Structure 1
Amino acid sequence: MELYYCVLLMSRGFGANLIQHLYTGAAKQSCFRFSAVIEHGIISSMKLRTFGRFFILCCFLSVLFTVSTPSLSTPIEKARQFTRPLEFDYLTWDVNAFMTKIGQSGLNPWHKLNIEQQHQLVMRYLYLTNQLEVIQVEIQQVYADPSIKDPDTAARVELAQQKALQTSIVSLTPLVESILQGQVTEIIVEEDIARLGDAVPPLLFHTTPLPKALIASPRNSIQQDVNISLLADLTLEQIDQLENQVEKATGESVLVVDVGGIGIYPTMVMRSSNLPWI
C-alpha cells in the first residue's frame, strides 16, 4: 500500500517535500526500493540488449569466416588453394574476344584488300607463327635440361626472339582473323549451307594459345577428380611446382596438360601455323 500511495502522489504532481512529510519510514523505504527496482530493470535491459548485439555480431562473423574459408574437404578444393592465381578466366577472355571482333568490324580488310594482299597477310602470319613454335620448342628444351643451372640466361636470346615474334603476331591477328572469317563465310553462302543467306550466328573466332588443364585422379582407379583450366603461358617451372603442390595436398596423381579446344563463342581456336587445321 505504501508503494501505491507513493506512486499516486508522484503521478498527481505533489512535491517531493510533501511526500517526504506524509510518508516516512516504511513508505519512504518503499519508494527507494521502487526506484532501485526501476534502476536495476533498466540496467538489466541495457545489458540484455548489449549481449544480444554481441551475440548477433558473433553469429555474423562466424558465418562470414565459414563462407570465406574453404573446407578443403574435396580434391578440387585442395587443388584450388594453389591454382586460384593461375586459373584461366573464361568470362574475361570472352568479353575481350567480343571487343576484338567489334574492332575488326571497323577494319574490314575482307572488303578493303584485294585477294593478293589478303594472301600475303595470311601467309606472313603463318610464317611468324611457325617461327614462334620452333623457338618455343627450343626454350622448352633449355628449361627441361637438368644440367643447365640458369635457364633464363641460357635461353636469353630465344626468349627475346619469342617476345618479338609474339608482338608481330598480335598485330597481324585481327586482320588475318577477319580475312579468314570472310572467306569461310563466303564459301558457306556459296555452298548454300547458310539457308538464310548468311551465317547465323555470324562466324566469329579468335586465335589464341589455349588454356592448360590440371587433371588429378586417384592412383588406384581410373577417374577424374579434378579438371581446372589454367593460364596458357605457364612456364615449365610453374607447372612442375604446381603439380608437386597439388599432389602433396590431394595424394593423387596430378598432371598439367594442353587441351585440344574449348567450346565457347566466339570460337577459341588454337594458334597454329597449319592453315588447313585452322
Structure 2
Amino acid sequence: MRWKLVFKITIVLCCSHQLQAKSQDVHFQSKMPANWLTTTPVTTESLELKLMRLILAQSSELTPHFHQVNFTKASELTRTQADSCMASILKNPKRQAEFIFSRPLSAIEGLKLYLPKDSKLHTKLQSKLKLWGGQVRLRELLLTEPDFVVGLDLERSYGADLDLLLKEKVIRRSLYFKQSGAQIAQLWPMLQQHRVSAVLEYPFMLATTDATLLQGYGVAEAELLQLAYFACNKSETGQAIIDKLNQSIAALAGTQAYLDLHLEAVPAERRQEFIQNYNKLMLGKIN
C-alpha cells in the first residue's frame, strides 16, 4: 500500500507541476489594450505587434495579460511587480540595471528623420547632405538651423548615442517633446499640424501613417540596425518568464516567416545588407 501511495503522490506532484508551468501569468505593461491579442489584426499593424503574436502563440506556457499604460507607468509596474514585463524595449545602461532582458525579439532599420514631402526645408537639407556624405548630421543641423524643430517622444529611448545627444542643453532648444500616452505613433499629428519641422522615427512605424506624404533621411548618429527586447521584473518569476520567451524567440528567429515580417518594411535595394546584419545580430551568424 505504501508504494502505491508514494506513486499516487508522485503523479499528483508531477501533474501539478505541469499545470503550474502551463499557467504562468505574465502581465505586459504596454501600449496595447487588454483585448489586443484576441482581436483581428488591422492591416497596418506594426512589426513589433506582428512578432509578438507569433512569439506568444509559441509560448504555450505563458498566459499573457495586457494593461494599456504609458511608458513611465509601465516601467514603474515592471520594477515593482514580479510577473510584469514590457515588450519591444531598447537596452540602455539604466534599464539594464532595473530589468532582466530577453534575447532580441526584433531587428529594425535605424531611425530616420522624416519631413513632409511638401516641406520647404528639403532644398536646404539636401544641399547639406552633399557635404555630410548622404546622411543627416543631426547635431550639426540643429546647431546651424535654429528654425529647424524636431519632434520626439518624451518617454522613448533613441539609442545610447542619440539619447546623450538629445540631452545636450544647446540642442534641446530645437526639440519638441510629446508625452506619448498609451497610443502608438503620436508624433505624426505634430508633423501634420506643422508644430515641428521633422520627426525622428523608425521606418517600420510608417505603417501607422500615410508614408506617401513623407520623405526620410538617414541619420549619422543613429544605429544602422536597432534591436528591441522584452524586459521583465528582476526576480525569479521575471527570469522564468524571460526563459520561456527566449525559447520561443529562438525557435522563431531563424525561420523564413519571421524574417519575412522584418523584410516587409525594408526596401528591396537594402534587403541583402539587412539580412546579413539580421543573421549576425539576431542569430549570431558571422559570414
Whether these two folds match at TM > 0.5 is no
**Which of the two has greater strand per residue?**
2
**Please, what TM-score do these two structures have when normalized by structure 1?**
0.24
Q: Which has the higher contact order (CA 8 A, sep 6+)?
A: 2
